[in-house]
């Protein structure tokens, strides 16, 4: 390979080097296209801070509400499991296991 480009099978260049642009007829090169940016114009400023703060507050309240709902669901599931376990224990003891002793109810007459 040479500086002129990629050579083909016969030695001829496949890609020729592009000429460099000049700024004037005297041959002075153009300045680079690098621009300096004012940092005050690029920063998010007050509205960026306000919007970020609003999103943070929203995320806080959404997370807090979600945590409460998860606790409520877990508590309901625990209570239902306890009720099912109690019903299973009551079924194992039999239908008359709820009564204590053989005394009759005094209200029945």
Encode pLDDT of 62-87 as tens digits. 999 999 999 999 999 999 999 999 99
Max Cα distance, the chain (Å)? 127
Considering only residues 22 and 90, tell me which one the structure prediction assigns the higher pLDDT. 90
φ and ψ at residue 82, rounded to 5 degrees: -65, -40
Provide the Cα torsion 41, 44, 48, 49; round to 10°.
-120
- Tens-place pLDDT, residues 29-39: 566 667 777 77
How confident is the model at residue 1, as a pLDDT?
Answer: 47
Read out DSSP for 32-56?
A: PS-----HHHHS-HHHHHHHHHHHH
Q: What is the mean pLDDT of residues 12-23?
A: 57
Query: Residue 85 has what pLDDT?
Result: 94
Q: CA 79, CA 24: separation in Å to the nearest integer?
A: 86
């Amino acid at each position: 390979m040479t500086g002129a480009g990629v050579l083909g099978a016969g030695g001829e260049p496949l890609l020729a080097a592009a000429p460099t642009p000049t700024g004037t007829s005297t041959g002075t090169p153009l300045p680079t296209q690098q621009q300096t940016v004012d940092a005050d114009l690029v920063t998010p400023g007050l509205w960026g801070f306000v919007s970020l703060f609003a999103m943070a507050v929203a995320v806080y309240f959404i997370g807090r509400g979600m945590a409460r709902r998860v606790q409520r669901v877990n508590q309901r599931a625990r209570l239902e499991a306890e009720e099912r376990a109690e019903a299973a224990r009551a079924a194992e003891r039999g239908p008359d296991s709820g009564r204590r002793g053989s005394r009759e109810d005094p209200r029945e007459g």
